């Protein structure tokens, strides 16, 4: 039986978008450390960087933001389709459906090569679609985008109906920037494979959203929240974590396929949350649990190099801004949309259809018994 590798270690493309160095815990977006961008830049600036290769000047940024503010409302045809879906529909399925609908009603004429306008449309409308379906699922009226607000603040505003606190915008922006791009992950690869056939943007994005939806990829940090709730207080942490490891269960928010040291995204979020929530007993518990968990993982799984990952502190961010757990993966998706579309532009510029091979391990007909 051939071993199933999951393409582990296979290089599928060259990219100028990001470098993920798992041995040293470094994540670079187009020449900048992602953690620095997350702490000091806006969502719009980092999206511009990933799409266009450089950070925008103040004039360009202002013009860019103006376009964003004008293009966030979703078309009536899309609202009509969303209104037909059951209110309780799972959000990632709704996003996949809405992306497909957008592909049939907006920019119909432009299929290949990609047009930047199509990319902008899909990126700008995704938060509006999330907020529209979320409020509908809660029995609330949808809220139109506010052109005075930036992308992240407007997302929170459309969900809640209130202009968010600056501090909430700051921590969510940091998380969304850190989640924007991460090399050839499953959803990015899925989108690039579809686009490599010279298919259209909507089809590629539907594939990416479909891949993101699976628990092995876009798994939300809600499990970390449950774990910390179950631990309850610092006194219980060691015994609780030991019981989990003795029972052979995994500790949520620890370990990573690529990072064999601290995930730099977790470090950036920890730093930010330390500034903002040092007094919060829940955050104090999270810091303690990380310390004890890493010691115990080293004891129970020596040599496996298990450290904290981004999901652990993403949970702290989501909790701090009171985002419902059903919105964790969709929020990750609205940010990864930038990375996906940057990869799709890159794929368009040097396209060759993806065509890996498989090894036949089945029976041969008698006439081919000597076939090698
Ligand atoms: N707790 C306890 N043990 C662990 C953990 C953990 N969190 N993670 C890995 N291990 C152990 C495994 O049991 C395995 O032990 P063994 O050698 O005795 O069999 C060894 O470490 C290697 O683990 P794998 O599962 O093979 O590592 P892989 O690279 O395939 O998986 C993954 C990485 C899925 C992230 C894993 O570490 C995990 O399940 N972590 C918990 C869930 C989690 O936090 N997911 C979020 C990841 S970040 C993101 O996706 C954005």
Q: Is the CB of 255 under 6 A from ligand 1?
A: yes
Location of structure tokens 């686009």: 195
Protein residue closest via CA to atom 38 of ligand 1: 255
Q: Is the CB of 256 under 6 A from ligand 1?
A: yes
223 to 72, 206, 228, 310, 315: CA distances (angstroms): 32, 26, 9, 13, 9
Q: If you measure from the C-alpha of residue 248 to the centroid of ligand 1, how many angstroms do you get, rounded to a whole number?
A: 11
Stated pTM of the model? 0.92
295: pLDDT strictly greater than 90: yes
- DSSP string covering 193-206: HHHTTT--HHHHHH
| ipTM reported for the complex surpasses 0.95 | yes
Span 101-145, pLDDT tens digits? 999 998 766 678 898 999 999 999 999 999 999 999 999 999 999
Which structure tokens are listed for 154? 């407007």
Q: Which listed residue (107, 256, 267, 290) is catalytic?
A: 256
Span 346-370, pLDDT tens digits? 999 999 999 999 999 999 999 998 8
The rounded mean pLDDT for the chain is 93
62 to 56, 258, 340, 351: CA distances (angstroms): 9, 37, 24, 33
221: pLDDT strictly greater than 70: no
- The alpha carbon of residue 356 and the mean position of all alpha carbons in its chain are separated, in whole angstroms, by 26
Burial (CB < 10 A; 0-12, 13-18, 19+), residue 243, is: exposed
146 to 25, 74, 85: CA distances (angstroms): 38, 13, 25
């Amino acid at each position: 039986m051939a071993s199933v590798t999951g393409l582990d270690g296979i290089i599928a493309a060259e990219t100028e978008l990001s470098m993920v160095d798992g041995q040293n815990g470094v994540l670079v977006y187009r020449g900048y450390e992602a953690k620095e961008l997350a702490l000091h830049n806006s969502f719009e600036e980092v999206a511009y960087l990933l799409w266009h290769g450089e950070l925008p000047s103040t004039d360009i940024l202002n013009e860019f933001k103006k376009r964003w503010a004008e293009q966030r409302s979703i078309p009536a045809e899309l609202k009509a389709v969303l209104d037909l879906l059951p209110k309780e529909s799972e959000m990632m399925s709704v996003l996949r459906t809405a992306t497909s609908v957008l592909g049939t009603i907006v920019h119909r004429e432009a299929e290949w090569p990609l047009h930047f306008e199509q990319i902008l449309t899909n990126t700008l409308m995704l938060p509006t679609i999330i907020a529209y379906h979320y409020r509908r699922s809660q029995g609330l009226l949808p809220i139109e985008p506010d052109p005075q607000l930036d992308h992240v603040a407007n997302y929170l505003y459309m969900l809640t109906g209130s202009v968010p606190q600056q501090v909430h915008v700051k921590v969510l922006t940091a998380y969304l920037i850190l989640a924007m791009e991460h090399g050839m992950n499953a959803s990015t690869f899925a989108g690039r494979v579809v686009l490599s056939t010279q298919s259209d943007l909507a089809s590629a994005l539907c594939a990416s959203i479909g891949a993101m939806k699976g628990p092995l990829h876009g798994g939300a940090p809600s499990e970390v929240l449950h774990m910390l709730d179950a631990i309850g207080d610092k006194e219980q942490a060691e015994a609780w974590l030991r019981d989990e490891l003795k029972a052979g269960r995994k500790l949520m928010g620890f370990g990573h396929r690529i990072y064999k040291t601290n995930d730099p995204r977790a470090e950036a979020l920890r730093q930010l949350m330390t500034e903002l929530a040092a007094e919060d007993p829940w955050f104090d518990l999270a810091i303690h649990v990380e310390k004890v968990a890493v010691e115990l993982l080293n004891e129970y799984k020596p040599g496996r190099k298990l450290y904290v990952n981004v999901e652990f502190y993403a949970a702290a961010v989501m909790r701090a801004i009171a985002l419902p757990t059903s919105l964790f993966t969709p929020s990750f998706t609205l940010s990864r949309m930038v990375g996906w579309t940057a990869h799709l532009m890159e794929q368009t510029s040097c396209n060759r259809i993806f065509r890996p091979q498989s090894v036949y391990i089945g029976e041969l007909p008698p006439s081919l018994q000597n076939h090698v």
